[in-house]
Amino acid sequence: MAFSKTITSIDIGSYKITCMSGEVSPNETVKINKVATVSSKGIKNGIISDVMLAKDSITRCVDQLEKKQGSRIKNVFVTMSGLKPHCHNIQEKTKISSKRVTQKDINRLLNICNKKIQNEEKTLLHAVPMSYFVDNNPTQNPIGIIGNELAIRITITVCDALVIKNIKGLLESCDIEIKDIAYDGYVSAIGTLDDDEKDLCCGIINIGGGTTSVSVLYKGKFISCVTFNCAGDNITNDIMFTTAASKIEAERIKLKHAHAVLNNSIAIQRPIEFHPAGEKNNVPSTITTTVISDIVKHRLEEIFDKCKTKTPYFKNVNRIILTGGSTQIENIAELCRTHLSLPTRIGNPSNTINLPNDYKTSLYTTSIGLMRYSGGNRPNEEINLVEKGYNIEDSIVKRLVNWLKTEI
């Protein structure tokens, strides 16, 4: 099996930072060489809140990976929660200059799309052609087709340019060059979707520490997304305020004792011991599993409701895949299945080699998806996203032309 050259990725979240090095095969198998994970400091709700703490966290993670692999890391592919992307579903058309569609016709059409969203305050993340049309007839490869009018349907995803500049500056302060930045919700989908699901309209809900990212993929193509500040931290804070426990203790209660749905009648009134903040040496307090689970259930239902109301095209979704740290909560998939009335599964990483057992969970699906994305396996998307101009101008045309050259 042929693999790509070694690539390195960094997944920056509010709870943890994960660095991976490895290779990717043409069939999207990810062969992991080394992995390092550290707790994240200086990142809150996907935003850099303390540059020095964030720099220290990234440096520690990179140092660990460099020691494990015995070589220096110079450039990386990056994803970071909280990019707050905006998806534009654009349809444009142009007259075909001669009898047959040529590359010049496509370039002219892409320039029209480019001008429609051109904005120095935004940075291009992804540009995914859904389909071309020649005289209203759909095609994936219009070149050479005879007709009068050429049209395109394309999803272009952008985010605030200042967010990207801050991430770039942070990594540069760690002496690391960014090769590309990807939206965490999209690479989560790439990390877990199987072939059968690529025929459906899937909603990938990535519930992290500070933010929840939602992506909708129709027949494997990225069509919409949203990110909002309601996630695992909110659940932890709810428990913390109810129990007066420390945040560390509240997080422990959430991960060890919380159930999104209580199925076991024996566990309903089971007491959970904990120490309120500042009372570590005193007799522990208790709270029942029922109370904790009610807290968790209500907050998760709020998150699922936000996914449904905030995400364009969510009404077309016929399958849900959950990823992110909050999927550790017991029975979360069952609650989602019931609340949204949709088939739901936990999205663990798929199609990997040498991935340590501790990383074969949905906590690391985004990291695996970023590796697959970095290796060039970007289904139905422009192939070369390495060049980053840090604004939209000219970049859409350049990248989509690269995509067309590869696909045609």
The pLDDT tens digits for 153-199 are 988 888 888 888 999 999 999 999 998 899 999 999 989 998 889 88
Calpha distance 169→298 (Å, rounded): 39
Is 194-347 the same fold as 86-161+386-407?
no
Q: What is the pLDDT of residues 115-164, one digit of tens each?
A: 777 776 888 888 888 889 999 999 988 999 999 999 999 888 888 888 88
Of 210 and 116, which is predicted with more confidence? 210
Q: What is the mean pLDDT of residues 374-390?
A: 47
Of 2 and 61, which is predicted with more confidence? 61
Calpha distance 320→337 (Å, rounded): 8
- Written out in words, the top-level CATH class of the domain with range 86-161+386-407 is alpha beta
Q: What percent of the chain has pLDDT over 70?
A: 89
Calpha distance 280→275 (Å, rounded): 5
The string over 114-152, giving b where at least 16 C-beta atoms fall within 10 Å of a residue's C-beta and e elsewhere, is beebeeeebbbbbbbbbebbbeeeeeeebeebebeebbb
Q: What residue spans define the domains of the chain?
A: 86-161+386-407, 194-347
- List residues bridging with 151 in a β-sheet: 93, 133
CATH code of domain 194-347: 3.30.420.40
pLDDT at 383: 31
- List residues bridging with 93 in a β-sheet: 151
State how far the alpha carbon of 339 is from the alpha carbons of 35, 137, 212, 308, in Å.
Answer: 36, 39, 17, 11
Q: Would you state the structure tokens that stand for residue 340, as one six-digit string? A: 């949204």
Q: What is the CB-side half-sphere exposure of residue 29 using CA atoms within 13 A? A: 8
pLDDT at 390: 31
Q: What percent of the chain has pLDDT over 90?
A: 51
pLDDT at 74: 85
Q: Which helix (H) or strand (E) holds 150?
A: strand 149-160
The string over 40-60, giving b where at least 16 C-beta atoms fall within 10 Å of a residue's C-beta and e elsewhere, is bbbbbbbbbeeeeebbebbbe
pLDDT above 80 (res 405): no
State how far the alpha carbon of 124 is from the alpha carbons of 6, 254, 335, in Å.
Answer: 25, 37, 35
Reported as a pLDDT band with limits 50, 70 and 90, residue 400 is: low
Distance from the first to the final alpha carbon of the chain: 25
Residue in 135, 9, 11 with CA at minimum distance from that of residue 73: 9
Residue 331, classed as helix, strand or coil, is coil
pLDDT above 80 (res 395): no
- Burial (CB < 10 A; 0-12, 13-18, 19+), residue 341, is exposed
Q: What is the mean pLDDT of residues 21-44?
A: 87
pLDDT above 60 (res 382): no
Of 376 and 203, which is predicted with more confidence? 203
Average pLDDT over the chain reads 86
Reported as a pLDDT band with limits 50, 70 and 90, residue 398 is: low
pLDDT above 60 (res 401): no
Reported as a pLDDT band with limits 50, 70 and 90, residue 341 is: very high
